Amino acid sequence: MIKPNSLESNQIANIDSEKFDYVVIGSGAGGGPLACNLALEGFRVLLLEAGGDDEPCDYKVPAFHARASENEALRWDYFVRHYDDKTQQERDCKFSEEKDGVLYPRSGTLGGCTAHNAMVLMYPHNSDWDYIAKLMNDPSWHSKNMHKYFQRLERCEYVSRWKIWSRHGFEGWLPTNQANPWMLWRDKVLTKLTVAAVTESRRMMHPLKRFFLGILKFIIRFDPNDWRLIRRIPEGLCKIPMTTQHGKRVGSREYIQRVREQCPDKLVIRTHSLVQRILLDEHNKAYGVEYRVGAHQYRADPRHKEAVVSETKTVCVEREVIIAAGAFNTPQLLMLSGIGLREELEKHEIEVKVELPGVGKNLQDRYEVGVVTRLKENIPLIKGMKLRPPEPGEEPDPQYALWLQEKGPYTTNGATVALIKRSSSKQWDDDPDLLIFGLLGNFSGYYPGYAHDITRDNSRYPNALCHKNDDRSDTCQENIFTWAILKAHANNKGHVTLRSSDPRDVPDISFNYFPKDSDGSDGEKDLDSVVEGVETVRNILEYCGDLVDEEILPGANVSSRDEIRQFIKDQAWGHHASCTCKMGPQSDKMAVVDSRFRVHGTTNLRIVDASIFPKIPGFFIVSAIYMISEKASEIIIEDARVNAS
């Protein structure tokens, strides 16, 4: 039997002699900024990252974010199930029989998933925070208080400082920008597509609301992070803010690097360090962690077969252990440490230290689908684009040459315009739940090789949706455009469970798409909302009918509402996994952490990542994770001062 809290003789020999106040596990949007903030406050922090510290060109160039998610130096490949039902799951052409799942890209590198995400930073809905405040009876989580954390982290570079009513942050560590609108307006094809989206956005709103929101949006230039819009729960067109600076990606990694240079004696970073368990004493007080040293130890790493025999080390802490390993790995680590559902732990012969049945449960995500079109005209903006860095000695493509000057489409994430919509299942004062945005290229979800296929027209293949394209022609297809539909606040609840007690094994992950309650309502409502998203895109396509040659996906043969529903059930995907160690009062047996991020039934152990949300927030989750990282920093520093007094 594994004894999570007994140190064998070889482990005792490898106890780290260095002293740390805090150990933070994971360097993504939750753990990276938290470690930095604690170090800047004067605490000695050890930041453990299972991946490396590579910075390939795919990382730097915003338009290459899909390539970054498939770059071997950065990626971890999870294969997940959307359905437990085998027949339904196999209808998804992205499903791999060999892997028994659908690719779910994660990042195993310094900066976590901020190293490969699309850099979108959209403020969460105020109701996300108000729900937590009410659930936890903790007013510090109220939206009026939470906004200060966004201001604290943001360094807004696309709004003038004198526009104080926007309530942007201008002194934070995370730069935000928007794409230069003149790139879009100089392109006649993209202009037509945008005008069509504007027409649809005006059609779907009440005339009075359309009038007042139109005035407000003109004043604030379609900024979804402007407090005046956030408060009014807006619908309609918006420009997407991105975490970029000087045309390059910015995320947790850059903050970590800066603080490491500024405070080298306070922030210690150890990469290629896979934590395999939290060390708890007989009172369930966390006093350290045990980790493996070596590259490619985790089996989601595509190079895991290259891993050599690793050394196991133990490090002890003076104050706390903070887990920020993400929605998949945080519950896995808790279970490996003896915290979780008793039956699950005993099945793998793990000693039960704290019985918390909610660990790994409540897995939530958004639903996404793509409507892919072929246009009659090429998009001038992407002429000659290769969407890759030049090979040694090769002349760069025109857009890459512009990127070197901090200009052009490679400085963006490829999203041209976005439309926020409230589906008909929502009340007039509910949050909008659909985000529809235009993307350059062909995007229909994640599967091995998808990043290459983004630049290709696969419609000539029998299985056009996700054909593993062997065409290695060098330039992009210049007339393919995708409308991606994102459904927020979905109702699916899946699970993360152990495959084995080996910390190198990837857990079993199932999302339970479109579930049915006793009345079958929640999953059906989600499905109907996504159908509305597809119908909205088709309305947009009608407004620019002279520009569209063909709808490749779902395609003209998918026309009735039932056919659209089946297409969505078969082909939907997501990439914002969350909620697997949910926050809740101690009276809730499925809750894992309290409102101060402390793991129930333990001391000196906290979680600060996407897993702690009771419900998935907003449209793009990274902003909410950055915000809780700032809040957790404040709480932990406050607690340290109280304990020191």
Residue 335 annotated as binding site: no
Phi-psi region of 456 (alpha: psi -120 to 50; beta: other; left: phi over 0): beta
Tens digit of each residue's pLDDT (9 = 90 or more) over 36-49: 999 999 999 999 99
Q: Which of 68, 212, 23 is nearest to 605 (CA)?
A: 23
As a whole number of Å, the end-to-end CA separation of the chain is: 42
Residue 119 annotated as binding site: yes
| Residues in CB range of 229: below 8 A, 6 or more apart | 216, 217, 220, 223
Cα 608 to the center of its chain, rounded Å: 14
Tens digit of each residue's pLDDT (9 = 90 or more) over 500-553: 999 999 999 999 999 986 444 578 999 999 999 999 999 999 998 789 999 999
Higher model confidence: residue 472 or residue 227?
227
Q: Which of 121, 79, 85 is nearest to 101 (CA)?
A: 79
> 593: burial class by Cβ within 10 Å (0-12, 13-18, 19+)?
buried
Q: How many alpha carbons lie under 13 Å from residue 371 in its C-beta half-sphere?
A: 26
Residue 118 annotated as binding site: yes
Angstrom distance (rounded) from CA 562 to CA 389: 43
Fold for 15-75+105-118+251-360+578-644, please state it.
Answer: FAD/NAD(P)-binding domain (3.50.50)
**Tokens (6 digits) for 443:** 């995007």
**Tokens (6 digits) for 181:** 């609108």
**Tokens (6 digits) for 348:** 């793998």
Looking at domain 180-239+367-381+414-487+514-571, does it have CATH number 3.90.400? no
Q: In sequence order, what are the beta bridge partners of 177?
A: 242
Query: Which pLDDT score, from 0 to 100, does residue 2 have?
Result: 38
Residue 317 annotated as binding site: no
Residue 87: strand, helix, or coil: helix
Q: Where in the chain is the domain with CATH 3.30.410?
A: 180-239+367-381+414-487+514-571
Query: Which pLDDT score, from 0 to 100, does residue 538 have?
Result: 96
* Contact of 354 with 338, CB cutoff 8 Å: yes
What is the b/e burial string over 368-385, where b = at least 16 CB atoms within 10 angstroms of the residue's CB?
bbbbbbbbeeebebbeeb
Q: Where in the chain is the domain with CATH 3.50.50.60?
A: 15-75+105-118+251-360+578-644
4 pLDDT more than 50: no
Angle between the N-to-C axes of helices 622-644 and 143-153, in degrees from 0 to 180, rounded to the nearest 10: 100
* Contact of 21 with 39, CB cutoff 8 Å: no
Query: Which pLDDT score, from 0 to 100, does residue 457 have?
Result: 73
236 pLDDT more than 90: no
Tens digit of each residue's pLDDT (9 = 90 or more) over 143-186: 999 999 999 999 999 998 877 778 999 999 999 999 888 787 78
Angstrom distance (rounded) from CA 56 to CA 68: 8
Tens digit of each residue's pLDDT (9 = 90 or more) over 93-135: 999 999 999 999 999 999 999 999 999 999 999 999 999 999 9
Q: In sequence order, what are the beta bridge partners of 508?
A: 497
**Tokens (6 digits) for 313:** 């080390």
Mean pLDDT, the chain, rounded, equals 91
Query: Which pLDDT score, from 0 to 100, does residue 523 have?
Result: 87
What is the b/e burial string over 140-168, where b = at least 16 CB atoms within 10 angstroms of the residue's CB?
ebebeebbebbbbbbbbebbeeeeeebbb
Residue 309 annotated as binding site: no
Tens digit of each residue's pLDDT (9 = 90 or more) over 251-284: 999 999 999 999 999 999 999 999 999 999 999 9
Centre a 10 Å sphere on the Cβ of residue 310 and count the other Cβ atoms it contains.
Answer: 18
Residue 638: strand, helix, or coil: helix
Residue 369: strand, helix, or coil: strand
